[in-house]
Structure 1
Amino acid sequence: MLTDAKVRTLKPQEKSYRLLDAERLYIEVRPTGKKIWRFKFTLHGKEGTISFGEYPAVTLVQARKLKDEAKAKLAAGLNPSEEKKKERQEKQLAVKNTFKEIAQEFVLEKMKYKSSDYVERFNTSMQKDIYKEIGGLPITEVTSAHILKIMKNTIQRVQSQPNHGTGEAAANLNRRFIGLVMRYAIVTLRTDNDPTYALRGAIESPEVEHARPLEKHEKAVLREKINSYGGTTTVRNAILTMLYSMLRTVEIRRMEWAFVDFEDKIIKFPKASRRNKQERTMKKNRTHVVPISTQLYELLQQQKTITFDQRYVFASPYKRDCMLSRTTLNKMLTYIGLSEVTAHDFRATASTELNGLGYKSDWIETQLAHADDNKTRASYNHAKYLNDRIKMMQDWANIIDSWKE
């Protein structure tokens, strides 16, 4: 039998040679000086060998232990060399099947037709909160405990930032994003369990504060503050366009110059299309036509001198060909002293006032791009009541301007 001292003093020769330890375990000394542990075995009448690694990284004691493990496999009718290959392949597969690898694959395969804004939110959540906890884990090892920890850490992160809320909504969004990846992994046979399911309702989001119409004094302050706003012209114009058009924040941000028709005085938001590689532009995926009032026409002409060489009408002042960030418009309202007002309140204000003035609710609901219960009919109704809405939107622009008087 070999000893560690003897193995340590073995010298290379012109040709490789072998020294037996016991039970067909031997060390092979190569001309390069490498010393490799090998075990020779017989299974089903056929001989084979398996390498246990290089000395001294693998000691004599470790080599003997690996030999005993190989013998146990032989006793069970298993080929230790084939089993070693399987284990190596499983380890390689585990590296490829980490949560991060599958999440990145999910983005490429399943989010190619999502809006760039939505993909950005997904990737930001992954980078800020999720990868640091489970990115390197094999997806089969991700548990509900990991995800709950991510959710709690997300709440702490959000609460540590001023004016970012209490964090429950962000935590639940992270849970939903993780769930998308887990269910994709189930479909692609990388795991068989979605641990996010058990966490539904684990963290309750605060009650949603629905949009409300502005008070009379808020209208006057808003109109005055917009005119005297000291920030960028693009942000000021974006807020004012939201008032004039009754569009949502996301629709203002996604508005492209290609949608604006100065000749016909309309803004036409197209429906998302895979064929034409058109991203979603509306909250509800449908075509939507917005009449351009005289005030909005003049505003867009002014904005044209600022961003007409870019894709978006209200492009980010700091990143070329990028949208305004999701929080910019609400932050502007806080900046001008209207922290109790949200951009969505503009739509509630328009709906309340126009209904009160006797405009038909169908015109108002169409202008707000609210969902039609009949999806087939809705897909053809994007220009519905257009002549009536042209007059209504001009009246509405005049009303807005009267707030400053």
Structure 2
Amino acid sequence: MPLNDRQIKNAKPSEKQYKLSDGHSLYVLIKPNGGKYWRFDYTIDGKRKTLSIGTYPTISLAEARQAAEDARRLVANGQSPSEAKQQEKQIKQAAMLHTFEYLAMQWHRANAHRWKQIHADRIISEMQKDVFPFLGQKQIDDISVTDIKVLIDRIAGRGANVTAEKVRQWIQAIYNYAAMLEITDRNPAAPLRGFLAKGGNRHMPALPREKVTEFYQRLGMVNVYPQNRLAVMLVMLVFVRSTELRGGEWSEIDWQAKTWTIPASRMKRPHMHIVPLSDWAIELLRELHGLTGQGRYMFPSRINADGYISEGTLNNIINSLGYKGQATPHGFRSLASSLLNEKGFNPDAIERQLAHIESNKIRAAYNRAEYTEERQTMMQWYSDWLKARYEQAKCME
């Protein structure tokens, strides 16, 4: 006699397992631990076999009956339901292994030894932020040229053309890796080479000096986390590259010597960089230390416990102040360079402070000076110039 839900629900375990038959070889196996397991017995090639369907109530009575009916059809066609189930499982596992995210992570692990840690971390960060949410779970052969075009357009749309092209290059490399594994012979990122307008050596928008006071005034009023506000103030003050600032670690600060030593592994060029810290820079860093000093990073991420704030954080703040297209974190380097050169500071000291590498190899071989004292004086002068405008902005609030 067929089962009903009440019978299955009320079935109690006993010392030995027993069966509740639904008929036609479908039954519930009641185990001593109280578990209720759907089973279907069948015969194929003269051998008696059992198909495990699942547990009750996860698999309902109606679902179990449908599964048993599907199994009967397979047996009638000379197929083993258990083998068919295993094949389906293998297909699903293979499909998972061929998702873009799985292959991207495999590619990253295979190549990580070739990269600096900061570069490897950047790739994962960009993938997790911009790529995996849109392409991660797609099969690698299901991703089209249009999918990638839409993705890099979205990144470029926020003004990050360089990042968009980097992402395209990484996707192309991931497809090359998959081709090497003989998983695919496609590469939808390759036709998009040159799709984005090349930036060349274009200059990032730099905040006009006459707008610095207004900038500070708006920065003081915007609703952002205190440490992120300090990040903007410090990138203006010490004019290092955004990635060098954002990845700053407290161990790099020498409070007594009033210097910030950025290791070669975190620099664009593989050279250690020393930043003399002005009085105001020390003051701001001490304020920041009170907020984030308990951890490794000066500007820890609120999303990734082991990381630091993203590239977009500073840009988003600047854009929210109304300076989109007028100012960028990188543009503060141009502002500093212009003012310091006009003031008459040693151009070599300025270039050294900007961590620029001398393009003339012969000149570079002779010009290895650090210009330490000149740079200390220069950084203090620039700090005083900025602080005067900051104080002026405070009086206008």
TM-score range, shorter chain: 0.5 to 0.7
**Secondary structure of the equivalent of 1:111?**
helix
Percent pairwise identity: 26
Aligned pairs (5 A) from 1:246-325: 246-272=239-265, 281-316=266-301, 320=305, 322-325=307-310
Name the counterpart of 1:107. Answer: 108
Shift of 1:296: 0.7
Instruction: Tell me the equivalent position of 1:336.
Output: 321
Is residue 130 from structure 1 mapped to residue 135 from structure 2 by the alignment? Answer: yes
| Structure 1 alignment gaps of length 5 or more | 1-10, 12-26, 35-53, 64-87, 273-280
Which letter does structure 1 place at the counterpart of 2:308? M
Q: Name which of structure 1's ranges 358-367 and 187-196 shifts more when overlaid on structure 2.
A: 187-196
In structure 2, runs of 5+ residues without a counterpart are 1-24, 26-43, 52-70, 80-88, 393-397
Task: Answer whether contact 1:111 1:119 (CA < 8 A) is retained.
Answer: no
User: CA, structure 1 residues 308+28, in 2 after alignment: closer, same or farther (shift >3 Å)?
Assistant: same
Match of 1:28 in 2: 45
Secondary structure of the equivalent of 2:45? strand
> In 1, distance between residues paired with 2:264 and 2:372?
18
Q: Secondary structure at the match of 1:324?
A: coil
Q: 1:372 Cα deviation (Å)?
A: 3.6
Q: Alignment partner of 1:231: what SS?
A: coil
Question: Aligned AA for 1:148?
Answer: V
Q: Cα 1:199–1:156, aligned 2, differ >3 Å: closer, same or farther?
A: closer
User: 2:349 aligns to what?
Assistant: 363
Distance 1:225 1:90, change over 3 A: closer
Residue 150 of structure 1 aligns with an amino acid whose one-letter code is D
Structure of larger gyration radius: 1
Matched, 1:397 2:390: no
Contact 1:287 1:382 in 2 (8 A): no
Residue type at the aligned position of 1:335: S
Residue 147 of structure 2 aligns with which residue? 150
Q: Deviations over 1:321-355 (max 9, x none)?
A: 54122222222223333333222221111111111
TM (norm. structure 2) is 0.67
Whole-angstrom distance in 1 between the partners of 2:291 and 2:190: 48
Matches within 5 A, 1:45-124: 56-57=73-74, 59-60=76-77, 96-111=97-112, 113-115=116-118, 116-124=121-129
Q: Is residue 174 of structure 2 the alignment partner of residue 181 of structure 1?
A: yes
Q: What CA distance in whole angstroms lies between the structure 2 residues aligned with 1:118 and 1:403?
A: 38
- The count of aligned residue pairs is 319
Q: Which moved more, 1:245-254 or 1:310-319?
A: 310-319
Q: CA deviation at 1:182?
A: 2.1
Structure 1 residues 92 and 151, CA, compared in 2 at 3 Å: closer, same or farther?
closer
Distance, in Å, in 1 between the alignment partners of 2:327 and 2:298 is 24
C-alpha separation in 2, matches of 1:216 and 1:331: 21
Question: Could you tell me how far apart the structure 1 residues matched to 2:361 and 2:145 are?
Answer: 38
Asked if structure 2 preserves the Cα contact closer than 8 Å seen for 1:289 and 1:382, the reply is no
CA contact (8 A) 1:239 1:329 kept: yes
| Larger helix share, 1 or 2 | 2
User: 2:278·2:379 contact (CA, 8 Å) conserved in 1?
Assistant: yes
Q: Report the Cα distance in structure 1 between the residues aligned to 2:364 and 2:183, rounded to whole angstroms.
A: 40
Q: Quick check: 1:289–1:383 contact (8 Å CA) kept in 2?
A: no
State the distance in 2 between where 1:59 and 1:382 align. 84
The alignment's C-alpha RMSD in Å is 4.0
CA positional deviation for 1:199: 2.6
CA drift of 1:394 comes to 0.9
* Residue in 2 that maps onto 1:346: 332
AA partner of residue 175 (structure 1): R
Which whole-Å CA distance do the structure 2 matches of 1:254 and 1:382 have between them? 26
> When the two structures are superposed, what TM-score results if normalisation uses the length of structure 1?
0.66
Does the 8 A contact of 2:155 with 2:164 survive in 1?
no
Structure 2: how far apart are the matches of 1:33 and 1:333? 66
Task: Letter of the 1:128 partner, please give it.
Answer: P
1:251 is displaced (CA, Å) by 1.3
* CA distance 1:117–1:174, shift in 2 (3 Å): closer
Contact kept? 2:230, 2:288, Cα under 8 Å: yes
Mean Cα deviation higher: 239-248 or 395-404: 395-404
1:153-182 per-residue CA deviation (whole Å, 9 max, x = no partner) reads 3267569xxxx5378766544421211212
